[in-house]
């Protein structure tokens, strides 16, 4: 496949580009949706295509396509060069330089290929059964889903970048439905691994069931300002927002609450955050990023201070530094852009019960909705819908729903009083590993 990428890059040079880079990928995936003890749908997916960046002077253009025959490659390459001609000159634009040799990484799990479709379908069904067996109040499962993918990626450029890797991943999740007290509640359970052999269907089903039944009879909390515990899933969503705001692109364009705060105190010392594209347990690990720059570990917030932003090649040149290997790329259909790889919030020392005891009287948030609409990405001010449990006398008490929590990202980071001891990988907000967090004070709006 690297050869295909090289041919596409060469075609762009032939079309008049000064420099060119091609990113080729092939993804083979499956998805199984189960409901009511039956396989509802079974999907086999093959995707392959190429994306070409062409530079003419300080101007970069992009084109992608699925036609990988010679004529197709030539058309994509020509479209990329054509796109470059429309763009305005930018002194910082240019092809990434080849980095050092990336470390060898084993990112493929043989069980993705070894497990038949019937076997992974059984796994999805087992997730549903586990939820139903957990509690008689589980009325059903909206859907139990398993999906996996095996990816091959190759990247080549006229500047000498040449790399290739393979990776696999899978996920199973469900949305359990609980009934009681004349109401209905949903609960999410999920698991992530590089292959189906790494998933525990019983644990996934049980988590969804427990989250749903815990919410039966939920009422609204009284509006007030109080300590708030965010569970790992919710903390991950917020960490994802913070990771996005730490991207140099948002910062340089003045669209981040962290702009001009390098070296400043932006968080309580209880919170430490880093990005690590090489983390062996990280779902989004890879030897190099979406433009071929080697991945690495980057400390973002240490001892409460902001250490650095995340950079791709363009923002690094603009900021006068080096890329941190954070050019993200969803597929050949998108051009690289600054993004987190695996974002890691450092665990603290308190167990979950100790966190609740430390909170005393407050709210434990187990779900948030409206993160995309309820957060001002520029100022970091947010107000999002939430549900969870009351904390009374340092213990979990009655379930709560239909309330909002409001603050701003920096104030929230500064108010972190403690981090839990046990972290978990969560696929929301990117790929994030985080323990539960105790926030000293936040506005809760209910009745």
Stretch that binds other proteins, among 123-131, 199-207, 263-271, 398-406 (CB under 8 A): 398-406
HSE at residue 124, side-chain half, CA atoms within 13 A, is 30
Applying CB under 8 A, among 12, 19, 24, 35 the residue interacting with other proteins is 35
List phi, psi (to 5°) of 182: 70, 10
Residues 58-87 that bind other proteins (CB under 8 A): 61-67, 75-76, 79-80, 82-84, 86-87
With respect to other proteins, which residue has the nearer C-beta, 277 or 336?
336
The closest alpha carbon to 151, from 53, 47, 295, belongs to 47
- Beta carbon of residue 61, minimum distance to other proteins (angstroms, whole number): 5
- Beta carbon of residue 360, minimum distance to other proteins (angstroms, whole number): 19
The closest alpha carbon to 98, from 165, 7, 159, belongs to 159
180 binds other proteins (CB under 8 A): no
- Beta carbon of residue 231, minimum distance to other proteins (angstroms, whole number): 18
Q: How far is CA 373 from CA 99, 370, 376, 415, 432, in A?
A: 38, 5, 8, 23, 20
Residues 249-288 that bind other proteins (CB under 8 A): 253-255
With respect to other proteins, which residue has the nearer C-beta, 112 or 419?
112
With respect to other proteins, which residue has the nearer C-beta, 97 or 443?
443
Stretch that binds other proteins, among 7-15, 221-229, 240-248, 293-301 (CB under 8 A): 221-229
Find the helix or strand (DSSP H, E) in which 76 lies.
helix 70-86
| Contact present, 229 and 364 (Cβ < 8 Å) | yes
List phi, psi (to 5°) of 435: -85, 170
CB atoms within 10 A of CB 119: 11
Q: Phi/psi zone of residue 9: left (φ > 0), alpha (ψ -120 to 50 degrees), beta? A: alpha
With respect to other proteins, which residue has the nearer C-beta, 78 or 432?
78
Applying CB under 8 A, among 378, 396, 397, 421 the residue interacting with other proteins is 378
- Beta carbon of residue 223, minimum distance to other proteins (angstroms, whole number): 5
With respect to other proteins, which residue has the nearer C-beta, 97 or 143?
143
With respect to other proteins, which residue has the nearer C-beta, 309 or 382?
382
Applying CB under 8 A, among 92, 105, 302, 443 the residue interacting with other proteins is 443
| Contact present, 76 and 8 (Cβ < 8 Å) | yes
With respect to other proteins, which residue has the nearer C-beta, 269 or 379?
379
- Beta carbon of residue 90, minimum distance to other proteins (angstroms, whole number): 7
Q: Is 151 helix (H, G, I), strand (E, B) or coil?
A: strand
Applying CB under 8 A, among 2, 4, 13, 39 the residue interacting with other proteins is 39
Q: Is 307 helix (H, G, I), strand (E, B) or coil?
A: coil
234 binds other proteins (CB under 8 A): no
445 binds other proteins (CB under 8 A): yes
With respect to other proteins, which residue has the nearer C-beta, 262 or 406?
406
Site string for other proteins, 102-141 (x = CB under 8 A): ---------------xx--------------------xx-
Stretch that binds other proteins, among 199-207, 228-236, 353-361, 373-381 (CB under 8 A): 373-381
411 binds other proteins (CB under 8 A): no
- Beta carbon of residue 62, minimum distance to other proteins (angstroms, whole number): 4
Strand partners for 155? 23, 163
The closest alpha carbon to 123, from 197, 201, 198, belongs to 201
Give DSSP secondary structure letters for 124-145.
HHHHHHHHHHH-TTEEEEEEEE
324 binds other proteins (CB under 8 A): no
Q: How far is CA 96 from CA 1, 92, 162, 366, in A?
A: 20, 11, 11, 42
Applying CB under 8 A, among 48, 152, 305, 414 the residue interacting with other proteins is 48
CB atoms within 10 A of CB 258: 22
169 binds other proteins (CB under 8 A): no
Applying CB under 8 A, among 133, 376, 398, 422 the residue interacting with other proteins is 376
Applying CB under 8 A, among 12, 49, 287, 329 the residue interacting with other proteins is 49
| Contact present, 324 and 54 (Cβ < 8 Å) | no
Q: How many residues bind other proteins (CB under 8 A)?
A: 78
The closest alpha carbon to 13, from 83, 64, 80, 66, belongs to 80
CA distance 192 to 185: 24
With respect to other proteins, which residue has the nearer C-beta, 169 or 298?
169
CA distance 283 to 107: 9
Strands (E), 195-272: 224-230
Applying CB under 8 A, among 43, 110, 114, 160 the residue interacting with other proteins is 43
Q: How far is CA 279 from CA 165, 344, 435, in A?
A: 16, 9, 16
């Amino acid at each position: 496949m690297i050869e295909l990428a090289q041919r596409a890059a060469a075609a762009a040079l032939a079309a008049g580009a000064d420099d060119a880079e091609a990113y080729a990928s092939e993804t083979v995936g499956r998805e199984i949706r189960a409901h009511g003890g039956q396989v509802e749908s079974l999907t086999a997916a093959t995707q392959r295509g190429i994306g070409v960046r062409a530079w003419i002077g300080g101007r970069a253009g992009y084109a992608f396509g699925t036609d990988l025959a010679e004529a197709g490659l030539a058309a994509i390459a020509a479209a990329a060069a054509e796109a470059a001609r429309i763009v305005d000159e930018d002194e910082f634009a240019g092809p990434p330089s080849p980095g050092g040799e990336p470390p060898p990484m084993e990112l493929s799990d043989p069980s993705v290929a070894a497990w038949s479709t019937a076997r992974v379908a059984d796994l999805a069904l087992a997730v549903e059964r586990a939820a139903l067996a957990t509690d008689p109040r589980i009325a059903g499962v909206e859907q139990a889903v398993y999906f996996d993918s095996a990816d091959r990626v190759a990247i080549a450029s006229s500047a000498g970048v040449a790399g290739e890797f393979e990776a696999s991943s899978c996920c199973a999740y469900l949305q359990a439905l609980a009934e009681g007290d004349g109401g209905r509640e949903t609960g999410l359970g999920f698991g992530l691994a590089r292959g189906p052999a790494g998933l525990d269907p019983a644990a996934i089903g049980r988590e969804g069931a427990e989250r749903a039944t815990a919410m039966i009879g939920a009422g609204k909390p009284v509006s007030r300002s109080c300590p708030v515990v965010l569970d790992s899933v919710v903390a991950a969503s917020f960490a994802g927002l913070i990771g996005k705001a730490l991207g140099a692109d948002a910062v340089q364009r003045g669209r981040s609450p962290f702009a001009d705060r390098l070296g400043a105190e932006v968080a309580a010392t209880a919170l430490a955050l880093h990005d690590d594209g090489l983390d062996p347990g990280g779902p989004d690990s890879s030897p190099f990023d979406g433009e071929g720059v080697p991945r690495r570990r980057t400390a973002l917030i240490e001892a409460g201070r902001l250490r650095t932003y995340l950079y791709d090649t363009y923002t690094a040149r603009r900021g006068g530094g080096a890329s941190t290997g954070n050019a993200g790329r969803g597929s050949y259909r998108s051009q690289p852009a600054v993004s987190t790889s695996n974002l890691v919030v450092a665990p603290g020392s308190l167990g979950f019960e100790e966190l609740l005891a430390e909170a005393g009287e407050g709210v434990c948030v187990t779900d948030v909705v409206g993160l995309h609409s309820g957060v001002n990405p520029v100022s970091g001010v947010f107000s999002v819908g939430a549900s969870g449990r009351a904390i009374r006398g340092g213990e979990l008490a009655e379930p709560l729903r239909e309330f909002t929590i409001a603050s701003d990202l920096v104030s929230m980071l500064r108010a972190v009083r403690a981090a839990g001891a046990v972290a978990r990988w969560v696929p929301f907000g990117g790929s994030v590993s985080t323990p539960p967090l105790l926030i000293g004070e936040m506005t809760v709006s209910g009745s």
